[in-house]
A and B are shown apart, each in its own frame.
Chain A
Amino acid sequence: MPLDLATVEQVAELAKLGLTDDEKARFTEQLSAILDYAARLQTLDTSAIPATAMVGGLENVMRPDEARPSLSQADVLANAPRSHAGQFQVPAILD
């Protein structure tokens, strides 16, 4: 198995994903099976092959750096679970 429980816990922390013990055990097994399957990529010699990140062919698409209308503060905050004084509210970050 390419993945052990400790790695799953570490990846979940990187992804800021809370997982139950049951989920951790299941993902250890399922992700290992998927990664075993993906291991067939290692049989290809790609040392001279460039990477493809995008397929559309466009590069460095720019627009004029000009101010233009945006959403209102009220619209932006309309979906916020918690807001205060025109801002998003979060739990204290600094003690």
Chain B
Amino acid sequence: MSSSIKKIPVEVSASFQEMFLKNSPLHTTEVELETLYKKYRREISDRDVIFLGAGTCGLAAGAGKTLKAIKKYLQDKALEDRVEVVEVGCIGACFAEPMVDIKLQGRRRLSFQQVTEEKVADILDALFTKNNIAPVLKHIFGQFEDEHALPWENLPSVSEHPFFKKQRRFVLDQCGVINPVSIEEYIAHGGYQAFLRTIHTITPSNICDMVEKSGLRGRGGGGFPTGKKWKLALANSADQKYIICNADEGDPGAFMDRAVIEGDPHKLLEGLLIGAYAIGASKAYIYIRAEYPLAVKNLTQAINDAKKYKLLGENIYGSGLDLDVIIKMGAGAFVCGEETALIHSIEGKRGMPRPRPPYPAASGLFKKPTIINNVETFANIPLIISRGHEFFSAIGTSNSKGTKVFALSGKIKRTGLVEIPMGTTLREIVFEIGGGIEHDYKFKAVQIGGPSGGCIPEEKLDIEIDYESLKAVGAMMGSGGLVVMDEHTCMVDVAKFFMDFIQRESCGKCIPCREGTKSMLEILKAITQNRKHEKENETLVRFQGIMNFERLAQVIKDTSLCGLGQTAPNPILSTLRWFRDEYEAHIYDRKCPAGACQELLSYSIDKEKCKGCTLCMKVCAVNAISGERKQAHSIDQEKCILCGACFRSCKFAAIKVS
């Protein structure tokens, strides 16, 4: 199976039938099950369906306007009865957003890319009135594989598209495919079967065993074996235990948790339910970022629907498990990704970490045993239960099993969410899945793991991704942000960006992190500052900072209280390790080779191109430009404050930056 974009028909198990029939608040007879099934399994639906990718990224690309245009079209052509419009989550191909899929009855689902509002009429005309897709071929992304439907001739398959070909999608398999706010649709695609099987046939300790044997490790960054953690909590007998899902995706550059919650919230819930059963928790919290309004909305709906189907509440399906799920909105603090800080935040305090042990599995929320896992970790659980731990542990490398979702962004041709088996190389991700660098510039580095991770250079692109190999090159898995950088990105500037972020987000509890990160930022600022702006003894301070730079980084790493501080110097240490020459150019030559550090640039006028229009003279705030009308001008470097106003104003591209 190269990719699970194709839909595998799901066997309807007896327990599923029973559940659907007995507990559905809407339907009760067997006859209705079949019609229900037809309604929610759209590959066998007897209506035409239009799917619109309406996740946050789709909406940012204009999916809202596309939806309006589609609805208007259907109204104008009186097609509303024949065609159903379904808003789905994000399939992960951000570069192709907004995406619209059209499934005509009996035909394979066709995917169209970059469907902005003006393209809607053409595409819908082609499919619904003219029955000729030739004029819209250029908008087609591909067709979904489907054994039961008639294929479109000579059209590529979605799973053969280079973006999807190397992916193996388990966590994301339903994202962008099914309607995320319909529990019936999730169930009709085999959802909650793993949970029902678990509570009826497997003991909690066996679940923990299975998860441990599967080799699943925490997907939030740390990589602690999930099964082992659960066992710790299970062994702890307490009157009340808690399970928390950490959906406070604070890493800038990571958005996989948002996509899972927006596109397939029930998968997270199912994993959470199984986890609660495994450790014996009766209360679950989902700590989610307030910056993700759509994810919060879909998740709230999912929880309410699960309550209707009695999947939440007391004595769930006769198993004796009680579970209540509460959504807690994060309030925007990066440090709350740390588990003890997150617990403090839920308790209504400042999100500051505390020393461990005791670990939360022994004493966590309200001093009770607590398990905290990331969204992606929970989303893997139903798979382990339904396909078996052997299936899961067969994927990946010796110490890292399964797949990992990465958020590919930055200066790359195809941005989006990719789910690949562990052991895939970074080169495959960047150059095959991502299609290489935008505008075919030269690749410089890929930043992995957010502010705790590091930058990996070209020569290390062939390492196979797993938790250990990334650590060996000075980066870390983190939550899975992959930001690609090209030759125009300055690595010192990137390090400065992360340090600026970290020192703002440092909670201030321990001194190495609070003061150390601030000092690191000051040193980086001094390195990227123009000599002209140095006053009094600042040159000396700059020199002193450079001398102590690496030592300071090491001290912060060794002495900070929590993970945030301990990993804070990583962006600097990794860039120093792989891009030392760039630091040296900034320090010794006071030049930025990538041309990104504004203060280190110098502006000059190309005498050949300058027409002497005097416009730049007028915009210069410090009168640094002189010259006669209709003759070439020149810039007085001593007076120039590097504001760049002349560069922006010049209509003849005569002002050069170096």
Q: Do A and B actually bind?
A: no
- A residues contacting B by CB (< 8 A) are none
